[in-house]
Amino acid sequence: MWTLWIPGWHPTPLNKLLRSHWGTAAKLKAKDRKIITTAARAYGVAPAPGRRKVSLFLVLGKGQRAADPDAFWKSTLDALVACGALKDDDRLHVELAPPAFARGDAPATFITLEDVP
């Protein structure tokens, strides 16, 4: 099991990706890929051997509003696949835990990956 702690960052929400120009959306997703890939390497995440459970815990900073529960999954899962932490983001290779939210002084994201037998 690995838990990636990424302070000062949240994945780009799906609504922002859908409302943006395709070029802007691609840049936002590339930024998320870079951040998650860097964290996965820093925490020594092994390439996915098969199915993995992914949990997402977001700390909301002061004055920050919570988004829809599914808002942060798209960019997160695509980045995890790109860095090899997931084989694919289809139903056969990933099990999603409901995202959790908490309040804190500053935004942060925790991504937990667990191999599923």
Residue 15's pLDDT band (boundaries 50, 70, 90)?
confident
Query: What pTM, to 2 d.p., does this model score?
Result: 0.89
Q: What is residue 62's predicted lDDT score, i.e. its pLDDT?
A: 86
Considering only the C-alpha atoms of the chain, give the largest distance between any 2 of them, rounded to a whole number of Å.
Answer: 40
Summarised one tens digit per residue, pLDDT across range 52-98 is 999 999 999 888 887 888 899 999 999 999 999 999 999 999 999 99
Q: What is residue 86's predicted lDDT score, i.e. its pLDDT?
A: 95
Summarised one tens digit per residue, pLDDT across range 20-56 is 999 999 999 999 999 999 999 999 999 999 999 999 9
Give mean pLDDT, residues 8-29.
92
- In the chain, the domains with their CATH numbers are 2-115 (3.30.1330)
Q: What is the DSSP string of 16-69?
A: HHHHS-HHHHHHHHHHHHHHHHHHHHHTTPPPP-S-EEEEEEEEE-TTPPP--T
Rounded to a whole number of angstroms, the distance between the first and last alpha carbons of the chain is 12
